[in-house]
Amino acid sequence: MFTGIIEETGVVRELQTRGGGARLRIGCRHVVEDAMPGSSIAVNGVCLTAVEIGKGEFTADLAPETLRRTNLGRMRPDMEVNLERPLAFTGRVGGHLVQGHVDGTGEMIALEALGDGNWWLKVRLPAGLERYVVEKGSIALDGISLTVAAVERDVVGVAIIPHTYEHTALKTLQPGWAMNVETDLMARYVEKLLARGGDSASG
C-alpha cells in the first residue's frame, strides 16, 4: 500500500524485453536505502518487486499484464519516473491510500501554466473509469496522489502546485503521454456493494 506522495524521481537505465514480459532497471537515490530483494517499490504508481538492489539502482520484472495496463513498457533510457516506497503503518498518510494496481492508462491532454508556478493538468480517462471519479475525490496519476478539481465526461482536471511540479516527473511530460491511472479504491467497493443491494452477507 502506498500514499501517492512521491519520494523522488528516478531515471530509467534499461528496459529489456524478455519473452512476454520485461526487466526494468531504475537509477535512484533514496528508495533503495532500506530496500532488499523482494521489497516493493512503486514506479509511476505501479507496485513492483525489486529483484536486484545495487548501489543507487534497482531492477524489477514486468509481467505481460503490467505491460498491457501501464506505461512502463513505453519507457526509454533517461526518462524520469516517480518513485515511492510502501506506506509504513506507523507513519502519516499524506495523500490517499494507493494500491499500486493501475486500472489503465489515460491520455495527457494538456499541462497549462496558471502562474506563480501552478499548473492545470487535463487527462482523458480510460473507457469506463469516469464513473469512479468525482470532484474533490482522489485519483492517482503516474503514482501521484491528486485531488480531482473538475470532471467533464471522460476528462479529469487537477491543479498541480509548484512543489508537485518540481518534485515529480510531470515537468518532463508532453501532451499525448499515456499516464497510469488508479481510481479511488473506495469508489469501486461502493459500486460493488450497491450492485449487491448493500447486502454484505449475500454469497
Cut 0.85: pTM above it: yes
Query: Each residue of 6-38: pLDDT tens digit?
Result: 999 999 999 999 888 999 999 999 999 999 999
Active site residue 47: yes
Map residue 105 onto helix, strand or coil. strand
Active site residue 40: yes
Q: How confident is the model at residue 152, as a pLDDT?
A: 94
Which of 40, 149, 167, 187 is labelled catalytic?
40
The answer regarding whether domain 104-191 maps to CATH 2.40.50.140 reads no
- DSSP helix, strand, coil percent of the chain (3-state; round to 5): 15, 45, 40
Assigned fold of 8-84: Elongation Factor Tu (Ef-tu); domain 3 (2.40.30)
Active site residue 59: no
Which of 17, 101, 110, 150 is labelled catalytic?
101
Q: Rounded distance, CA 203 to CA 160, Å?
A: 43
Active site residue 2: yes
Active site residue 39: no
Q: How confident is the model at residue 194, as a pLDDT?
A: 82
Nearest C-alpha neighbor of 154 from the set 107, 115, 91, 98: 107
Query: Each residue of 134-145: pLDDT tens digit?
Result: 999 999 999 999
CA atoms within 13 A on the CB side of 196: 11
Active site residue 101: yes
Q: Which three cell numbers stand for residue 101?
A: 494496481
Chunked into runs of 10 residues, the chain (203 residues) has average pLDDT values of 94 94 97 96 98 97 96 97 88 77 96 96 94 92 96 96 97 97 83 70 50
Which of 22, 28, 42, 47 is labelled catalytic?
47
Tell how strand 40-43 and strand 178-183 pair up.
unpaired
Instruction: List the domain boundaries for the chain.
Output: 8-84, 104-191
Give me the phi and psi of 36, to 5 degrees please.
Answer: -145, 165
